Each structure stands twice: as structure tokens, then as C-alpha cells.
Chains A and B, each alone.
Chain A
Amino acid sequence: MRKFLAVVKREYLQRVRTKMFIIMTILGPVIMVVLTVVPAMLFTMKAGEATRVAVIDQSGKLYERVAESIMRGDDRKEASGDKNFEKNFNSNAQERVKGAGAMMKSNYDVRQALPGNRSLDEVKKELNEQVLKDQLDGYIILPPDVLENGKVESHWRNVSDVVTRGQIEDRLSRAVVAQRMAEANIDVARVDQMSKPVEMSAQKVTEGGSEKDSGGGFYLVLAIGILILIMITTYGQIILAAVVEEKETRIAEVLFSSMRAFPLMLGKLIGVSLLALTQYVIWAITFALFALYGVGAFSARGADISLPSLPVSFYVYFFLFFILGYFIYATLYALIGSMVTTTQEGGQVALPVIFLIMAGYYLMFPVVRAPNSGFAFWVSMIPFFSPITMLVRIVSQTPPFWQIALSLAIGFGTVVLLIWLASRIYRVGMLMYGKRASIPEVVRWVRQA
């Protein structure tokens, strides 16, 4: 036990002190901020200067509405905070860019270009010059028949600013639609009210009666799956390197003359895991501080954000299966480390582990549709998939306790078995330096050692 702790201590202290670890721990949240906050900031930065737009109104009756619509910019999307957030949660990248654009404070400076008695071409020529001299950013031509066929022409210095163009297009059409309604004597406010969409709330049926469930549990499982994936992709390599280290430096024989292989292997695994834990706790605290700030900001805008209200037992399961998921894959890396002689070699062999994690991840979709099917039962018993599939079953339609317990028992049993196997292969492999083990050799080593 003392020797096991010595190994844990060494693994942890040696790694936690490395510059690489310190830099990554600090840089992690910075990168997170850079990837999320900075693009949003960049969008808002544009708003610092008003976009100057000239409007040539050939219809003669739209300018007022258009100017007001563009400058005031009360897009319906911008106003509906809560709905918008939900939609953004799983919208695709394109929509998200649009959404981010919508969040920026639109700032437009609209003026009317009066043709007087000049021809359209003369006016365009003059406006073009202004655009080129940077006195104007672009102009819009509302043709006389704009109300009938809704075709509008626009000219810009920068045509790649899709956000601005999209916004102006939206606001223009709102102005045009409003004008059409006004001409047909339709009350815009009543139309708005009448076209309000349906909001469906979902209630989960449980033994305690119906309770509100926004499906947040499912998102939590998704998040846990992603967390396992991220942790394994970052820490799997480190575990592998830790296991290979004594082989590369040829220290293994000294270690084995002092302790058994199993506590050594377990010590390495725990030491590196504590390292991962340290990093993630630091990140989580940083993130929580940001999130607190963010949630505050959203709440101020009337958004209803809170952790999904789930029974406490669920959070216990989340924790247990998360730990299981991490260790199942971490021990696979340790196993690979025990078979190879260098870290580089291990990196190649480890690729299938990532596929295995991905497979577990995709299995959640068939399982969520039929959480009590035979298929769902079996995949939630397979240790490499159970951390995700069993959690999906728990949040969607909680299976009997014995199934959860069995799944956990199989999972943790597999972890212990894998560590034992890894330590065995490691020990025999160490006695024959210099070559990677073939599968039949490994099988023989396990039997004989």
C-alpha cells in the first residue's frame, strides 16, 4: 500500500510540476474564452461604427418605414431571448453565426438619396463615388414595383459582410410586409398576436405523478459523453506515456524488484487521473465563474436557465457512470501501453479506442428511442458503452435498480480485470525488451507469467 502511494505521488507530483501542464491549465480557459467570447466581440466591434446606407425610394412611399425598421431594428429574433437560446442550443454553425450577428447591437445610419430630376443612372454614379470615397458603405434601390414582386437591388463596398446584408434584408422585408398590410387595411399587431406559435411542454410520467421535464437530463448525458471523450483524448496519451515511461527509461526492472506489477499499474493510473482531476476542477471553477456571470446576464434578459430538476439519485448515477467511463477507456490506454515499447508506437495502436468511444456515443440515439428494448438492455451491459447508454436509459425511462447495479458491477469489474491484464502483460513484456508484442504472444504471456 505504501509503495502504491509512492507511485501515485510520483506520477502526480512529477507531472503537475511540468511547464506543459501549468501552461495548458492556464491556457485551457483562455482558449475557451477566445473561441466563444472573441467571435462575439468581433461582431459587436463592427457596430462601433454605424453602417451608412443610402436608400433610393422609387416607390415613393416606403422610405419612412424602411428607415425606421432598419435603424430601430427590433427583430423578433432578438427580442425573444428564451426561445432563441433553446434554438441556439442545437442549431448548426451557420445559424449560430446569424444568431451571433443578431445579438450585436445593430447600428445603422440611413439617409434618403433623392433623385430630384436626375436619372437613376446619374444618382447611382454619384452614390458609387461616395462609396468609393468611404463616405457611404452601400445603398439600396427600392424599385417602384417593390410591393408587388419584392425585388430589391443593393450595392456595397463589402459584399462579404453577410451579417449586415442578412439583417438589412430581414428588416426591409418586414417594412415591405407592414406596408402591404397597411395598404390592405390589416392590423399588424393583430397579425403578430394571431400568428404566435404553439409552445409544447413535456411532462414525464413517473410513479410520483407527472412532473415537468424539459429533456434537460438528455442534454446532461450528452455533456457527460462529450466530457469523457475530451478527457480520454487528452489524458489517454498521457496514461500511455506513463506506462511506457519505465520501459523507455529501463527502470521497470528496478521497480519490479521492489513491488508487484498490479499496484504499480494502478498507481500510475490513479496518479494521472488525479492530474486530470486537478486540471478539470480548475477549469470547472473558471467555467463556473464565467457561467455564473453568463447566467446572470441571460436571467436579466428574462431567460429561464437552471439545472434540470432531476432526482438526486440521478446525479449520483451521473457521477458513477462518468467515473466508470473515464476508467474503462483509461485502462484501455494502459493496456496498450503495456504492449508497446515506445509512446509513438502506442499512439498508432490507440486509434481504435477513440472509435470505440464514438460508437458508444452514437448508440445513445437508438437507445433513447426505445430505452426498454432488448437492444438497449444489452448495450447498457457492455462496459465500453454502458457509461453513456445506461445513463440515457436512466434519464429517459429509469430501468430497474438491479440492471443499473449490474451494469456498474460489470463495468468496474472490467476495469479491474483490464488493469490486472495490463500489469501482467507489462511484466512479461518487460522481461523481453525491444519488440512489440503480437496478439498471440500477449495471450501466451498472460497465461504463463
Chain B
Amino acid sequence: MNAAASTLTLAGVTKRYDEFVAVNNLSLAVRPGRIFGIIGPNGAGKTTTIRMIVNITMPDEGRIELFGQEMNAELQNRIGYLPEERGLYKKMKIVDQLRFFGELKNIKGRAADEAIDRWLARVKLAEWKTKKADELSKGMQQKIQFIACVMHNPDLLILDEPFSGLDPVNVELLKEVVLELKAEGKTIIFSTHQMETAEKLCDDICMIDRSRKVLDGSLREIKRSFGRNSVALRLEGGDAVLDDKTLVAKVERHSDDLEALLAAGADAQALLKRLVDAGARVSKFELVEPSLNDIFIAKVGESE
């Protein structure tokens, strides 16, 4: 993957705060038109990485290239950034705030007003246009912040925990919008510590833990290459089969189901046959891909 083919490239980026290394020798490439997830627990260095991408802080070492250019202030206008720490001017009318944020991204006048109306309608807040921010609920404010980040039609969108604090209906709405933007060819960077959300949305991911990259690549390939298959089961009997360590490495029991992690080299087909032979009644037998969470835990465990 060469630099020209990527929207964004980080090469050997390191950022220190005093003695503390927030980001350590991070390299990654974000391909155009895809949703790229930066994933990791709280404090892993996600936000610091993003702040370097949007030119709020400079890396101590390494290079950042965006749209084939060295990072600079001009490029900021082509990025839409929804930070995790976000807010609105409390006493300012929604339309005035959005016009102001638009002006900061070099969109003003009629173009700005059109974008504001279109987006307010899209997130179903059109009738709140002339209200002040502190009259809106938290969730509504968050949608306004989202508009502030997309109204200038940026080529790169960076969303830091965009769904936190939203009700399920609005989460769905925002996801829809994000997928629409992707369909329009925008590149989207999506940062979260919630693995499940990332798993549903992202095409590519980069996992960070304690300031280091643990893993990156296309989500599908990662899952495929991650050779740990498990089986979701619902059955009566067959306990002896599950205790066979050459077949099943580990059994996790949930309320109704259980999840059997296959031993290395074991075949799911063989397990099913053994269970049927042993006279167990199988009402569910499903091959499960490892979840991002599992992969993350395995990877972090490996690196320790």
C-alpha cells in the first residue's frame, strides 16, 4: 500500500508528554472511501493520535501525510472532526452556531445556510433551528455537533466516540448517515473503545493498546487469519465430549447456550459428529467468528 493510494498515512509517529509516551512509533494507512476504526481501551492513545491527525498537536517524531501532502493548516478545512470532548455555546441559537462553525471551515453565506437546512432536516431537528443550545437535550446537541463536523462537506471525517450517550434510535440514525457519507466516497475514521460498534461499521481497523499498535488491516482478513474458531451450542447431554481436551480447549457457559472454543487442529465437523454419536440432542450448532473483543484480548495477551 503506497502513500499515494491512501487518504492518510502515519509513518513512525511518536508523541510524548514529558516522560509519558502517549503514542509510540505508530504507522498506519487509511484508504479512501473506507471506514477505518481506531480501537483500543481508554487511555491507549487514540485521542492523541487523532489530535495529531487534525493538526492540534504535532508529533515529536514521524510524519503525517494527508491527501498526499504533509500535514498543514490549509488541510484542516478538508477534515471534519467530532471530538470526544464536545459542546456547544449555551446561549447561542443553533443556526448561529452552525454558521460560525461553518465559517471556521471556510463555508459561509448561502452555501452554509443551505447545508445547515439540509442537515437539520436529515437529523430531524429542523424545527429547532432558532432555539438556543441549552434548550436542546443532550442527544439533540450531539446531533448538532455532528452537523458542525460534516456541514462543510469534508473529504475526511473523524468521529471520536460519536455514539456515546445517544439513545438507540439516534444511534441508528447516525449510523445510517455515516454509511451514506461512505457511499458518497468520504473517508471516515472512527475511534471507539466499544468493540461491538466497531465490528459492525468498520472496513479496516487499527488496534492500539498502551500507546502501541497491536494489530491493523482489513477487518475481514483479520478475522479470517485469526485461527481461533469457536462454536455456539445449545444441547442436552454430551458433556463427556466437551471435556475432551483434544477437541475442545475451553467451554464458556451462558444462560442457555454455551460456547466451545475448538482445540488447535480440531475440526468443528468432527465435534458435531462426536456429539451426535454420544447421543446428545443438538438444537443449535453454529460456527462463530472470533469477536474483535476476543481478538483484542488474545493480541494483548500475546504482546505481554
Whether B104 and A258, one on each chain, are in contact in the complex, defined by CB atoms closer than 8 angstroms, is yes
Question: Is B61 positioned at the interface, with any CB of A under 8 Å from its CB?
Answer: no
Assess A245 versus B103: contact at CB under 8 Å? Given A257-B76, A257-B79, A431-B51. no
Question: Is A251 positioned at the interface, with any CB of B under 8 Å from its CB?
Answer: yes
A245: chain B residues at CB < 8 Å are 89
Whether A433 and B92, one on each chain, are in contact in the complex, defined by CB atoms closer than 8 angstroms, is no
Whether B87 and A249, one on each chain, are in contact in the complex, defined by CB atoms closer than 8 angstroms, is yes
Which residue of chain A has the shortest Cβ distance to B18 in the bound complex? A444
Question: Is A256 positioned at the interface, with any CB of B under 8 Å from its CB?
Answer: yes
Number of interface residues of B (CB under 8 A): 31
Question: Is A250 positioned at the interface, with any CB of B under 8 Å from its CB?
Answer: yes
Per the 8 Å Cβ criterion, residues 54-103 of B in contact with A are 54-57, 73, 76-77, 79, 81, 83, 85-92, 96, 100-101, 103
Whether A256 and B87, one on each chain, are in contact in the complex, defined by CB atoms closer than 8 angstroms, is no
Question: Is B143 positioned at the interface, with any CB of A under 8 Å from its CB?
Answer: no
Whether B57 and A6, one on each chain, are in contact in the complex, defined by CB atoms closer than 8 angstroms, is no
Question: Is A201 positioned at the interface, with any CB of B under 8 Å from its CB?
Answer: no
- Min CB gap B179→A, angstroms: 23
Assess A253 versus B83: contact at CB under 8 Å? Given A10-B100, A258-B104, A258-B105. yes
Interchain CB contact (< 8 A) of A2 among B17, B51, B106, B149: B106
| Bound complex: CA A254 to CA B18 (Å) | 25
B54: chain A residues at CB < 8 Å are 257
Whether B55 and A257, one on each chain, are in contact in the complex, defined by CB atoms closer than 8 angstroms, is yes
B198: chain A residues at CB < 8 Å are none
- Min CB gap A92→B, angstroms: 45
| Bound complex: CA A254 to CA B56 (Å) | 10
- Min CB gap A423→B, angstroms: 13
A433: chain B residues at CB < 8 Å are 85
Q: Would you call the interface of chain A mostly helix, strand, loop, or mixed?
A: helix
| Bound complex: CA A2 to CA B55 (Å) | 19
Question: Is A3 positioned at the interface, with any CB of B under 8 Å from its CB?
Answer: yes
Whether B88 and A6, one on each chain, are in contact in the complex, defined by CB atoms closer than 8 angstroms, is no
Which residue of chain B has the shortest Cβ distance to A251 in the bound complex? B87
Whether B89 and A254, one on each chain, are in contact in the complex, defined by CB atoms closer than 8 angstroms, is no
Interchain CB contact (< 8 A) of B100 among A6, A250, A260: A6
A258: chain B residues at CB < 8 Å are 76-77, 101, 104-105
Question: Is B205 positioned at the interface, with any CB of A under 8 Å from its CB?
Answer: no
| Bound complex: CA A444 to CA B89 (Å) | 30
A18: chain B residues at CB < 8 Å are 91
Q: A-facing mask of B134-153, CB < 8 A → 1, else 0?
A: 00000000000100110000
Whether A2 and B103, one on each chain, are in contact in the complex, defined by CB atoms closer than 8 angstroms, is yes
Whether B148 and A257, one on each chain, are in contact in the complex, defined by CB atoms closer than 8 angstroms, is no
Question: Is A259 positioned at the interface, with any CB of B under 8 Å from its CB?
Answer: yes
Question: Is A14 positioned at the interface, with any CB of B under 8 Å from its CB?
Answer: yes
| Bound complex: CA A13 to CA B18 (Å) | 41
| Bound complex: CA A140 to CA B145 (Å) | 81
- Min CB gap B86→A, angstroms: 6
Whether B104 and A250, one on each chain, are in contact in the complex, defined by CB atoms closer than 8 angstroms, is no
Whether B103 and A14, one on each chain, are in contact in the complex, defined by CB atoms closer than 8 angstroms, is no
Interchain CB contact (< 8 A) of A257 among B17, B83, B100: B83
Closest 6 CB pairs of A and B: A250-B87, A6-B103, A258-B104, A249-B87, A253-B83, A257-B81
**Apart from the given pairs A3-B104, A256-B56, A433-B85, 15 other A-B contacts in the complex at a CB distance below 8 Å:** A6-B100, A249-B90, A251-B86, A252-B85, A253-B51, A253-B56, A253-B81, A253-B86, A254-B83, A254-B86, A254-B101, A257-B76, A259-B104, A260-B73, A444-B18
